[in-house]
Amino acid sequence: MNRPPALARAIERGLDSFRGRHASHLLPRTRLGGPIPWVIAIMVALTVLAAGGGLALDNLADRARADLSGGVTVQVVEADPRLRAAQADRIADVLRAAPGISSLRRVPESELEALVEPWLGSGLDDEVVPLPALIDVQLDGPASPEAIERLRAALIDTAPDARLDAQSDWLGPVFATVSALRLMTVGLIALLAFTGAAAVWLAARNALNANRDTIEIVHLLGGDDAQIARIFQRSVMVDAAVGGVCGLVLGGAAIALLGAQFAALESGMVARGGLAPTDWLLLALVPLAMIGIALLTARMTVMASLRRML
């Protein structure tokens, strides 16, 4: 049955107080007075920290693999310094003539002594602690087991006791640890997203229960569930936006501070784990993702609860 025009206009005037900027009066509280902005700020800050750490680890591993993919180290282990130097010279000559070699460098003894100085001290006696002769070789392609075997076969007559190692193998345990940490980062981000959604769900349920009488009046005046859900969504969106911006600022500041601390270590490997501009752009999308999760959770919660009210 159609409503009389006068009654329809009265209902519309009654519903005007639940539309636009007046819709937020259904939730009688200030924006920063409730827990949702602070909870979302904490969730976003932790998510930014976790995502920033994961991206930094990913950059570190990728750059280390790129640098070491074609690297091979040849060690000449010989106690006699003269024999060791002679073997290293012959190995260098053979490798320069071998195909597939892009560059070759004989590591100076002074550089080797500087590497072991923190553990063995300075002024080492070569007769007491003989250091091996090292040759850094860069291949045209990756240092695969087949490429290592070809080099070993080329050196079998010149230096049968020479040791060849792919530089990427040295960091194999490090790469495995980085992969495990990245998986933990993904799990932590998923857990934080679930926690944020749970907080929004709880807040929406509490708001619905606190305003049950008002919602029933809106229903009697002809308001539908979608309109009431939009009222709650608008409130949650503002709260999530405020909390998301605050969390992004806190998380970004913490990442910048940690990056400066790691840069002060002056470690080449750690320095390669910095964030690129695209990484910062991805971190800036974290608050938007949290707002989307909050809106979706609020709408699903409100619609499900309203169906049970009727």
Domains delineated in the chain: 5-65+173-309 (no CATH), 69-171 (3.30.70.100)
Q: Give the pair of three-digit tokens for residue 70.
A: 């074609």
Predicted pLDDT of residue 149: 81
- Backbone angles phi and psi of 279, in degrees to 5: -65, -40
* Contacting residues for 141 by C-beta, under 8 A, at least 6 apart: 70, 100, 147
Give the pLDDT score at 64. Answer: 73
Distance set, CA 1 to CA 4, 139 (Å): 9, 85
pLDDT at 6: 46
The per-residue pLDDT for 15 is 45
For the chain of 310 residues, list the mean pLDDT of each consecutive stretch of 10.
46 46 46 71 92 86 73 79 82 82 81 73 64 81 78 79 75 79 90 89 80 70 71 82 92 87 63 76 92 88 74
Residue 161: what are its φ and ψ, rounded to 5°?
-95, 5
The phi, psi pair for 292, rounded to 5°, reads -60, -45
User: Could you tell me if 112 and 97 are in contact, meaning their C-beta atoms sit under 8 angstroms apart?
Assistant: no
Q: What is the pLDDT of residue 158?
A: 77
Q: What is the dihedral of CA 303, 306, 308, 310, to 10 degrees?
A: -140
Tell me the HSE value of 104 on the side-chain side, using a 13 A CA sphere.
15
Cβ 184 vs Cβ 128: under 8 Å = no
The predicted model scores a pTM of 0.68
Helical ranges in the chain per DSSP H: 5-15, 36-68, 81-97, 109-120, 145-155, 167-170, 172-210, 212-220, 225-263, 268-271, 277-284, 286-309
What is the spatial distance between Cα 297 and Cα 200, in angstroms, rounded to a whole number? 7
Q: Tell me, what's the pLDDT at 17? A: 46
26: CB partners within 8 A, 6+ apart: 18, 211, 214, 215, 228, 231, 232, 235
